[in-house]
Structure 1
Amino acid sequence: MSKKFFVLMSILLVAAMVFTGCSKPADAPEVATPDAPTDEPAPEPTGEKILRANNASEPGSLDPALAQGTHESWVLDHSFEGLMKLDQEGHVASGMAEDYKISDDFLTYTFTLRDGIKWSNGDPVTAEDFEFAWKRAIDPELAADYAFQIADYVKGGNAYLSGEGSLDDVAIKALDDKTLEVTLEAPTAYFLELTAFYTYYPVNKNVVEANPDWAKSADTHVSNGPFYLTEWEHDASLKMRKNDNYYDADKVHLDGIDLTIIDDENTTWQAYEGGEYDLLLPIPQAVVAKMKDEGNPELVLGGEVGTYYFNLNNDVKPFNNAKVRKGLSYALDKATITDKIAQGGQMPAEGVVPFGMFDEDGKEYRDKVGNLIPYDLDLAKNLFEEGLAEEGMTIDDFNSKGFVLLYNTQESHKKIAQAAQEMWRTNLGIEIGLENVDFQVKLDREKAGDYDISRAGWIGDYMDPMTFIDLWYSKSSFNDANYNNPKYDELVLKAKSTADQKVRFEAMREAENILMDEMPIVPVYFYTQPYAQKPYVTGVYKPLVNYPRLTYADINK
């Protein structure tokens, strides 16, 4: 059977299993589950069960409304909880809401909160907190990057966000302390799953109104999840401790989670080998390959729906030319990058939407779209030179510009950037420089348009192709390539405004074809998430759209 089949089955298996580490690409050895027996001794008892891991980058913000990346969401997903959550099987389950009702027209959702739920400071969690948090997230003055994730769906949301409507017309309403009513602009099949995403997390209204800087320090940070923030030494470490006020606290076995903030994979891997971490991600690519070859039971090949890609700044000449952009894409040998460099079961990208998403017939979305990104050196060279000529440039002119590929400091990104640099040099005759910066600096520069080419990646926010398709809508705050195509925008809006699943998916497929024909970004591969986990750690689970969840983890001494 094909490698594609095995990788797809890996994704599905991860979503279906309670324990972590079930995905297995075609060329990987059997990998034991975290519960497998081992001869390795557990650490000596310390009196507390503190799971030690690493968060590779300093969070830009631990305010759910302002967060924008996995370096923040891994902390937020353990310290906050939305109306719904993703359970151990990867299904959408009750979180802060014990029940919900959906109107016959699929537009109005009425959520009933659990009895007795509390914030980490002891305040009751109320429907008003949710109303306040969601409306705050789309306040144009807050300028949240993820505001669209609420505004695009809630009735009146976009009008308010754009300054054309009133906050009073935003259809989010606390009917009483326990009841939240939300009306949508159009039926949205994945809305329940959206309420499990961090932009939809509540914030304590009284705390936020009293202190605008509440989320900048552990001393003032208040949350409603299984853990709460107790220490934050910026650029060094984060500590969370069990929240005894959490409604499911009896099932939370850990006393806390300690995270270092170190971006060097080799340093953290040496510390893991030395017993300083209980779970570690990311791990060096060479280590992943070695662990796979050895059948090391501590390797977990986590499934993930995500795409690794390069942004091309469409406002910078000659990257404004589609032929130039397609030439860069077609000249990359993506199979070599996945097989020889990434080495974690990743698949060469065939578009922007990864495998694991399903269409209107419940079948694999990519089957009807196919591979939209050929590896074709002759075509790549011809398109690239034609595009340069259209912009009045030659290869020498291009090389004289000193264009640079920007990536965030991490060994794996460096190796992939070096591979792309060499492939473009060999196949197109061009010279691209490399620059590494801190992750948050990279994000800030992308937002400012201060780059030529940049490494990027997107993990789906929910299990629908739209979580990738709407990234390059012209007004999307994550459209860092500055792509603008009215027809593409029209198709995105069409897909978001219909309850007809056939119409919706046809619009998304057509949009992806347009995107890959104009190639504003260069998809490289579809993600997996390899990580290392000590055998004495159990109960970790890995949703396809999240980092490993430690909520119900345990350390068995």
Structure 2
Amino acid sequence: MAKKKKMSTGKKVGITALAAVVVIGGVVGVSKISSNSSASSNVLNEYLPTDMTTQDLSLMTDQYAFEVAANVQQGLLSRTSSGSPKAGLAKSWSHSKDGLTWTFHLRKGLKWSNGDPLTASDFVYAWQRTVNPKTASQYAYIYSGIKNADAINSGKDKDLSSLGIKAKNKTTLVVTLEHPMPQFQNLMAFPVFFAQDKKFESTLGKKVGTSSSKQVYSGPYKFVGWNGSNKKFKLVPNKNYWDAKAVKNKGVDFQVVTDSTAALALYNKGELDQVSLTTSQQIKKYKNSKNLKIYNNSRTDYIEYNQTGKVKGLTNAKIREALNLATDRKSISQSVSEGLDGIPTGMTPAGLAKTATGGDFAKAAAKATAYAYNIKKAKKLFAEGMKEVGLKKLTLTVEATSDSSTTKPTLDTIQQSWSELPGLTVKEKYVPFKQRLQDAINQNFDVLLTAWGADYAEPLTFLNMFVTDGANNDGKWSNKQYDTLINNASDKDALSDTKRTADEIKAEKTLYDDSAVNPVDWMNAAILSNSKVKGVQYFSSGAPYYFWNAYRSKK
């Protein structure tokens, strides 16, 4: 994911992505599904593990919404199969020597799916709408670095037209940055920066994207058949897409399947073209299958602590450190994925980003952190922390999504080890994905098991989350040193790989030293894929899949 997404803690997708490989799980079943005639046609068969939330580009936050959006919309830039930027709705682009001014030249004759002209002003409208505080976009923070974005979003600047994006004419767009942004090109292929049709949206108000008919589309497909709550919907080729001839299939049929056993059964019947293995039993059974693919999801499952003061014990650093030390990450990985998931040494997952010298960032950052399981030390620190805050007993409820088969074994393992801490009672709480997202926003939790997938291939996609009052800082942790480090990495050190990496490693260390959060695992995805389906593009950051180059082979 992608926020990219505030991800479900289910084995990903995606978000999710993200950001992600679509994954499933949960306690809810799937309604009876008739035989799918498209299994032998050139229509792809996919699924989501939880209900679709929205197709409002300014408001979406989860990997599943981004997965659909990345296929029915397109940004100024798109992505190659390796994930690097390439031309999208913009046929060419350039930037000034100092990296502060970017100029994009749109293709001529672009249209929305309803026939409306798509022009540079549609990007201006979309960006202004997203950063407008009245929109209440949780992803507005990702615009930080674009001229006046922060000032507008905070309410200090009431003039939306002061945002650093201008339409010189119908096909020329100029973006002005406050400081260089290493991730800027990657962001131009991320759905939060896509165009929106002001003419279409102006009559809808808050209904934008609440069903597939209340949105128009600029990408290879149109989204059809979703009324806002139903379990089946489709992507169908968009005849008004500028490169409609490049779409190699007749569409994608989606269904919502929240039970991982049901999803696997549908795959084995040929009614799904790929399925995520979401339990250790499934992975063990299919680990030698020729159709099994292992993807790096660039996703971290982690625990947030409510540090607002609502939960007295969690404002104490020793208690948080004790909980981190009492987290048996190796056992969690084993119980969830047969050891497939990585054991985290920080928030930024392995394989996402490189250091200035070309090494893996996560490996370099691990030298500054020491996340480990040490129950003896945990008991000692917990007792000291409890004494400092004047508590003899503490009850903590750990909340997670019910829409996943992996959260139960994760929480069970956590509950077992945490319960060894003197005076601590641990309870488990499972809620639907949508409610978990809302509870996070409202700080309506004690402890939250959540997840984040990378929006772009740079550590800041994770580290930006925990700045003071950040939109995704659900635990409300605050640290001035951390804020300074992230500000430096994002601004004055942005163009120096060496300095930026040093800032980011120090930021990881600050998270660790203060036990701000608790990384639980780095998720990888085990996917069974139909060998006859070729050309699906998977990405470990941002929206997870591009489907339009895929096709069903007869062999």
What's the TM-score, normalizing by structure 1? 0.88
8 Å CA contact 2:123–2:195 kept in 1: the answer is yes
8 Å CA contact 2:488–2:500 kept in 1: the answer is yes
Residue 358 (1) aligns with residue 343 (2): no
Residues 490-505 of structure 1 aligned to structure 2 (within 5 Å):
490-498=484-492, 499-505=495-501
Q: CA deviation at 1:47?
A: 8.3
- Report the Cα distance in structure 1 between the residues aligned to 2:55 and 2:389, rounded to whole angstroms: 44
Q: CA deviation at 1:111?
A: 0.4
User: Given the alignment, which residue of 361, 364, 367 partners 2:363?
Assistant: 367
8 Å CA contact 1:226–1:242 kept in 2: the answer is yes
8 Å CA contact 2:382–2:421 kept in 1: the answer is no
1:254 paired residue number: 249
User: Given the alignment, which residue of 157, 160, 164 partners 2:149?
Assistant: 157
Gaps of 5+ in 2: 1-19, 22-35
Residues 252-331 of structure 1 aligned to structure 2 (within 5 Å):
252-281=247-276, 283-292=278-287, 295-315=288-308, 316-331=311-326
Q: CA deviation at 1:235?
A: 4.4
User: Given the alignment, which residue of 389, 392, 395 partners 2:387?
Assistant: 389
1:36 paired residue number: none
Aligned length: 511
- Report the Cα distance in structure 1 between the residues aligned to 2:256 and 2:476, rounded to whole angstroms: 31
The amino acid across from 1:450 in the alignment is N
8 Å CA contact 2:39–2:271 kept in 1: the answer is no
- Report the Cα distance in structure 1 between the residues aligned to 2:255 and 2:490, rounded to whole angstroms: 40
- Report the Cα distance in structure 2 between the residues aligned to 1:71 and 1:343, rounded to whole angstroms: 25
Q: Secondary structure at the match of 2:449?
A: strand
Please report the RMSD computed on the Cα atoms of aligned residues, expressed in angstroms: 2.1
Q: CA deviation at 1:282?
A: 5.7
8 Å CA contact 1:344–1:530 kept in 2: the answer is no
8 Å CA contact 1:298–1:534 kept in 2: the answer is yes
Identity between Structure 1 and Structure 2 (%): 27
The amino acid across from 2:469 in the alignment is K
Q: Secondary structure at the match of 2:214?
A: coil
Q: CA deviation at 1:402?
A: 5.5
Q: Secondary structure at the match of 2:192?
A: helix
Spell out, residue by residue over 1:254-309, the C-alpha distance to the aligned partner (whole angstroms, 9 max, x if none).
211121123221222222222221122364342122211xx112222112211111
Spell out, residue by residue over 1:211-243, the C-alpha distance to the aligned partner (whole angstroms, 9 max, x if none).
222311222320111111111041422221111
- Report the Cα distance in structure 1 between the residues aligned to 2:510 and 2:269, rounded to whole angstroms: 50
Q: CA deviation at 1:48?
A: 4.8
User: Relative to 1, partners in 2 of residues 1:47 and 1:270: Cα closer, same or farther, differing over 3 Å?
Assistant: closer
- Report the Cα distance in structure 1 between the residues aligned to 2:396 and 2:298, rounded to whole angstroms: 34
1:378 paired residue number: 376
Residue 438 (1) aligns with residue 435 (2): no
Q: CA deviation at 1:508?
A: 1.5
Residue 469 (1) aligns with residue 463 (2): yes
8 Å CA contact 1:100–1:109 kept in 2: the answer is yes
Q: Secondary structure at the match of 1:318?
A: helix
Spell out, residue by residue over 1:380-427, the C-alpha distance to the aligned partner (whole angstroms, 9 max, x if none).
111122111111112xx11xx363433342111111111111121246
Residue 139 (1) aligns with residue 132 (2): yes
Residues 495-534 of structure 1 aligned to structure 2 (within 5 Å):
495-498=489-492, 499-534=495-530
The amino acid across from 1:521 in the alignment is V
2:546 paired residue number: 549
User: Given the alignment, which residue of 472, 478, 497 partners 1:478?
Assistant: 472
8 Å CA contact 1:289–1:344 kept in 2: the answer is no
- Report the Cα distance in structure 1 between the residues aligned to 2:90 and 2:162, rounded to whole angstroms: 24
8 Å CA contact 1:269–1:283 kept in 2: the answer is no
1:32 paired residue number: none
Worse-matched range after superposition: 404-413 or 374-383: 404-413
The amino acid across from 2:499 in the alignment is V
8 Å CA contact 2:331–2:413 kept in 1: the answer is no
Gaps of 5+ in 1: 1-19, 22-42
- Report the Cα distance in structure 1 between the residues aligned to 2:418 and 2:510, rounded to whole angstroms: 24
8 Å CA contact 1:54–1:281 kept in 2: the answer is no
Q: Secondary structure at the match of 1:440?
A: helix
User: Given the alignment, which residue of 25, 32, 57 partners 2:50?
Assistant: 57
- Report the Cα distance in structure 2 between the residues aligned to 1:372 and 1:143, rounded to whole angstroms: 37
User: Relative to 1, partners in 2 of residues 1:153 and 1:393: Cα closer, same or farther, differing over 3 Å?
Assistant: same
Q: Secondary structure at the match of 1:308?
A: strand
